[in-house]
Amino acid sequence: MIKTELFDLTGKVALLTGASKGMGRAMAQALAAHGARVMVSSRKLDQCQATADEINAACGEERALAFACNAGYKEQLQALVNATRERLGPVDVMVGNAGINPFYGSMLDIPDEAYDKIMATNVKSNLWLARMVVPDMIARGSGSIMITSSVGAFGPSLTLGAYSISKVAVIGLVRNLAAELGPKGVRVNAICPGLIRTDFAQALWDNPAAETRAKEQIPLRRLGEAQDFQGLAVFLASGASAYVTGQALTVCGGSHMRA
């Protein structure tokens, strides 16, 4: 048996938003399974607690805690960070996975309120959260931040324009933070999912046309699953990715290999 510490997260503290379901839940499970203590957050405490309970049962010990937080509100994010420090310790890993898309349609028709909400929750909230946790990482001379973008960042959309714009902005935010924080030992990367079979994207994949496209056009011939992000989360959180920063890592079954 080969022994390696490359992916060992023992003693690390990870804070995740949008982590009670889907990709966030899968990433929290994987981080905890590799030794990290994780704070699971989303808007609904009961869902966060259910996920934390599942993780703890699987690990055989308490490695996950739950905290309700709407990422669109700065004061709630600060409360989340404060609770994580108090209950688990300084933050080593941040996963900004919370995101919204309240509008489908032409950019010419989007209400100002919907546009502002998308940009605030998908982009600005991650800047807020990064600012809050970075002092912990700088103090230790190391840390990893990952923020969920999308393959939607790589092209236009006739129905998801504002969402796609916000995900382009996330990649820009990641690159800037990576440049600023690299000299301090902090790495920052974007995760860009393709079409993933989660509740958030159900309107896009739960139809015969999407299944047909997946089987005919995606090189791996299937839609993505939340579990497909477990390995990447562990990689980015651990020493295995010690020289990886400022990247937009695409997880799409090959559908956007040329983006």
Q: What is the tens place of the pLDDT at every residue in 117-135?
A: 999 999 999 999 999 999 9
φ, ψ for residue 36, nearest 5 deg: -75, 155
Asked if the model's pLDDT at residue 200 lies above 60, the reply is no
pLDDT for 218: 81
Q: Please tell me the distance from the alpha carbon of residue 171 to that of residue 145, in angstroms, as a whole number.
A: 12
64-75 mean pLDDT: 97
Structure tokens at 149: 């973008």
pTM of the complete model beyond 0.85: yes
Q: What is the pLDDT of residues 36-67, one digit of tens each?
A: 999 999 999 999 999 999 999 999 999 999 99
Sheet with 37-42, side-by-side order of all strands: 64-68, 37-42, 13-17, 93-96, 143-148, 186-193, 248-251
Structure tokens at 223: 């839609």
Please give the domain boundaries of the chain with CATH numbers for all domains: 13-251 (3.40.50.720)
Answer whether 245's CB lies under 8 Å from 188's CB. yes
Asked if the model's pLDDT at residue 107 lies above 70, the reply is yes
Asked if the model's pLDDT at residue 190 lies above 60, the reply is yes
pLDDT for 205: 47
- Return the percentage of the chain with pLDDT > 90, whole number: 79
User: Which of the four pLDDT bands, split at 50, 70 and 90, describes residue 252?
Assistant: confident
Mean pLDDT of the chain: 92
Residues found in the chain: 259
Answer whether 81's CB lies under 8 Å from 94's CB. no
pLDDT for 253: 84
Catalytic residues: 163
